[in-house]
Every structure is written in C-alpha cells, then in structure tokens.
A and B are shown apart, each in its own frame.
Chain A
C-alpha cells in the first residue's frame, strides 16, 4: 500500500500553538500569585464547601505566598503576549481558511457526544470527520472563546473605571473576578483532557504538531476515509 504525507498543521499554527503553552502557563502561574492575596473561591454544593481554592499545602508546596507584586507585574506583562497570540491565531485561521477545519456547525453538537462515546470505547462507530472530529471542533473553538472571555473579564477587573461599562455588563467587579477565576479552572481542565487525548492518540499525532506532517495510507493512489490513527487531540 502506498503512502502519502499529509500536511496537517501550518508553520504559523504550530508556532502559535506552542508559544501559547508557556504564555498560558505564565498567565495561570502569575494569576495564582495574585489570587493568593484574596483566595475566596471554593466548590460549593448547597452551601457546603467541597473544595477550597486552594488548600494550604498547595500554596506552600508551590511557594506562592507573599508574591502578589511579582504576580501582578508578570500578569500585566504576559497579558499582552497572550492576547496578541490569540488575536493573531484567530486572524490567521480566518484569512487562511483554516477555520473550515476548526469551527463546529450546529449539527456538530449532536455528533460531538457520539465521538466522546466512541473515544470512551462505549460505541464502535464514529461519525465521519475531516482533520478534526466534531468533539475537537467544539473543544478547539470553545477554548478560543475561553481565551477571549479571559481577556474580556480580565479587562473588566483591570480597568473598572475606564471600562466601567464592561465591568457593569459583566455584573460588576466581583462577578468579573469570579468569572476570570473560573475560566482559569476551565483552562486547567482543558489542558488535562488535551494532554490525555494526545497521549492516547499516539506519537504520530504529537509529531504532526511539531513537524506539521503525518503519514497516511492511500489505496491505489486514492485517499481512504481514515479509520485508524486519526488525530484526536
């Protein structure tokens, strides 16, 4: 059986993807340095707090206490790079046409759970897909929206006077801070699932995010709908 090399990720997408990793890490780290100074949020059910963000061992284990000034200075430096990278990515996907591989359509939300069930080995068949399946389309578009929401809620708590209309629109300063915090939690959850999926999808999938290419089978010179080794993460 002959093979083909498939170009999966352009150079621009690979750079922006990998640059985002340290940028997001620095935003979360510096955000934790800031949050420590007023660590008020917890996971509550019927008024009972299941988990407080964060327990003392977490703060001390990571050496976070009393670093508010450092956290603020890092957060307000890396915010520019984080936002610029996100804007560049969105512009790029629209101009290059990459959005066709990334955006969901309304019916994607019906197929995405089917993909999840397939990935959990609960059902055998999975819906037809392009480079990404519908669960990926929902996730990758969602995480971009999360990035945008982080910037917007961040601006609302960064400039509550100059952007008071935005702060008010988000329900006030305290709510904007609450949302900004929970978006961070969602980013951490996204990251955890993303890493697990990459590990399950295997080496060739990871390699394609570094090299841009993957090797695919062809039958008699014609590409088959892929059933094995499809990208997941």
Chain B
C-alpha cells in the first residue's frame, strides 16, 4: 500500500469515527439532560431520501399490520369470548387471589383499633332480617361438630326458629324438617364465654367504612371450647389449623334468607367476633340482634347479622353474594 493510500484510509477512518461519535450522541451542552445523562442515539448510515422513504415505508407496513392485527385480536378476543369463559376466568382469578392472600395470612396481622369515642353506626343491609322473628325464642344452632353428645348443649334435632319448628325462607319454600343433631346455645350462654371488645373500622364492599365498637366472644375462643373437627381427639392446637379441623364454616340467618361461607383461617383470626353488643349497648335488630359476626378480615357482606345456624363443614359453603358474582373470599 502506498503512503498516499495509507493517508487516505486513515482520513476516511477518522471521518467515519467522528461521524459515528457524533451520530450516536446528543449535542454536548451542560443544559441538555440528554448529554448530562449520557443518552445515545441510534442512527442508520446516511441514506438517500428515496432509500430512507423506501425503508421507512417497509417498516411502517410491517409495524402497522402487526400492531393492527394484535389490537384487533385483543379487542375481538375479549368481546367474542363467551360469557361463561369470561366468568370462569374471573372466578378463577378470585380463587387465585384468595390463594395468594391465604399464603400470606398471619393471625398476628391485626387491623388498627380506635378509641371507643370514635365509634359511630351505619345501618346497611336488611337481607335475612325478616319481621317474623321472635328473639325471645332464639337459640344459636351449631352443627357439624364431631360427636356433639359430648357437650351439655347437645340437642338431637337442631332446626330453625319458629313456633312450628320448621325452617323458613324468604325466597324458597319451606323444606321438610330433617332433624340434625347439634348444639343449641342461649344468648346468656354465649355471653358467659370470654368477652372481647374491639373498636374497628368496618369496610363495606361498596367503598364506605365506619368505625364501631363491638363486644362479643372471639370466634376462636368459642371454637376452642367447641372444637370444630370431624373426628374427636384431634390436636386442640386451633391456630395451626390441624389436619382434622374442618375447612369451612357456614353461617345462615334463621329465615335462610342470607348465608355466608367462611374459611377457617379468617374466622379464627383474633379480630373475628360473635358480637352481641355494639357501641356499648345491646345489639339492635337492624344491626343483627341477638348475635352477629364482626371481623376485620373481610368486607361487611361476610358479617352475617342475626345468626341462626353455624355449621362446620369441609364443603365450601354457599354464599349469598358470591352467587351474584362477588368474591367468595372477600378477604382483607
């Protein structure tokens, strides 16, 4: 290679490197954030206007065809998805979210409690609170315990309230009265169990919240005495959810108009009460007298008022609002 040629090659390389350097950096300016942060550009080699146009057109065609197809696929995929498929997908997502929530659930996680002076009340939801209810005849029915004869509260036929001793329902006709053995509790018996008071914020699934004071027995204290297992002799270590423990609890109003299903983990949380007093006074009928459920672990829709029956079960119980598309778990 001649010297002339060498010089020429050097020159070309120099120009090229300068071009490279300039081509992929922004104007060096102390007031340009791009140069302060060292942002690079990504530029092609210089092209003729025609070539640039041709390449850009090819890229545009590809980009818009792919993008348009993906967009249409998304829109029509969602619109044409059969309702059953969509509902199943959303239900499965609720279940997935529930599994995530249960995985992280710690009974030591507590919602804040407030000074009782902040307590107020809000009435909402009268489902299951029909007029034909005689509080003086009310007894809490508990079924699903192993060998209920062990307990003094044993009754051979536990059924729903009413002088005719027949189950009632607002929207379904009375069913034949099948005797179910279980336990019956008077309100005084419930009141004699360990008392707990808490002033907590009730969250309605609609979005509002209200701070109220509640007095009652922790469900876990109740369950410690009336241990919910399908076999006798299970480990009484409730909090570790031993294998013999039933998986769920079903709570139903006396008229069967309202019913909720609970997981064991949430109902045994220390801030879940069977409450008989609100804001320092006996529970009023519209708030669920004589006995209702109160919790910080779930939305208000799960806090059954006027409890008629508590049933321990391994089946996932029916749930009034879950049947209208709400989350069965509805956990906080």
Chain A residues proximal to chain B, CB less than 8 Å? 1-7, 18, 22, 34-35, 37-38, 40, 68-70, 72-74, 76-77, 80, 97, 99-101, 103-105, 107-108, 111, 127-131, 134, 137, 159-162, 164, 167-168, 172-174, 177, 207, 210-213, 215-216, 218, 221-223, 225
Chain A contacts for B110, CB-based, 8 A:
161, 164
* Cα of A74 to Cα of B86 in the assembled complex, Å: 10
* Cα of A35 to Cα of B90 in the assembled complex, Å: 19
Chain A interface: which of B37-45, B182-190, B228-236? B37-45
Q: A131-B39, A223-B23 are in contact. Are A3 and B327 (CB under 8 A)?
A: no
Distance in Å: Cβ of B207 to nearest Cβ of chain A:
3
Query: Counting CB contacts under 8 A, is B55 at the interface?
Result: yes
Cβ contact within 8 Å between A211 and B32 = no
Cβ contact within 8 Å between B94 and A213 = no
Q: A4-B52, A222-B22 are in contact. Are A72 and B32 (CB under 8 A)?
A: no
Query: Counting CB contacts under 8 A, is B105 at the interface?
Result: yes
Cβ contact within 8 Å between B203 and A5 = no
Among candidates A73, A76, A161, A215, residue contacting B56 with C-beta atoms closer than 8 Å: A215
Cβ contact within 8 Å between A127 and B90 = no
Chain B contacts for A105, CB-based, 8 A:
33, 36-37
Among candidates B22, B39, B74, B326, residue contacting A101 with C-beta atoms closer than 8 Å: B39
A128, A130, A221: most-surrounded residue (chain B CB, <10 A): A130
* Cα of A128 to Cα of B33 in the assembled complex, Å: 8
- For this complex, 15 residue pairs linking A to B, each with C-beta atoms less than 8 Å apart, are A4-B46, A5-B52, A5-B59, A7-B42, A18-B67, A35-B207, A37-B205, A69-B325, A130-B32, A131-B34, A159-B332, A161-B331, A207-B63, A212-B59, A222-B22
Cβ contact within 8 Å between A37 and B105 = no
Closest A residue, CB atoms, query B51: A3
Cβ contact within 8 Å between A77 and B63 = no
Closest B residue, CB atoms, query A77: B93
Among candidates B31, B48, B89, B321, residue contacting A107 with C-beta atoms closer than 8 Å: B31
Other A-B contacts than A131-B41, A161-B111, A173-B203, 10 sampled, CB-CB below 8 A, are A2-B49, A4-B47, A38-B208, A107-B33, A130-B41, A164-B109, A212-B59, A212-B63, A215-B52, A218-B46
Chain A contacts for B43, CB-based, 8 A:
4-7, 216, 218, 223
Chain B contacts for A160, CB-based, 8 A:
111, 201, 203, 296, 332
Cβ contact within 8 Å between B49 and A3 = yes
Closest B residue, CB atoms, query A134: B33
Closest B residue, CB atoms, query A158: B332
Among candidates A68, A97, A212, residue contacting B205 with C-beta atoms closer than 8 Å: A68
Q: A211-B62, A218-B46, A223-B43 are in contact. Are A173 and B34 (CB under 8 A)?
A: no
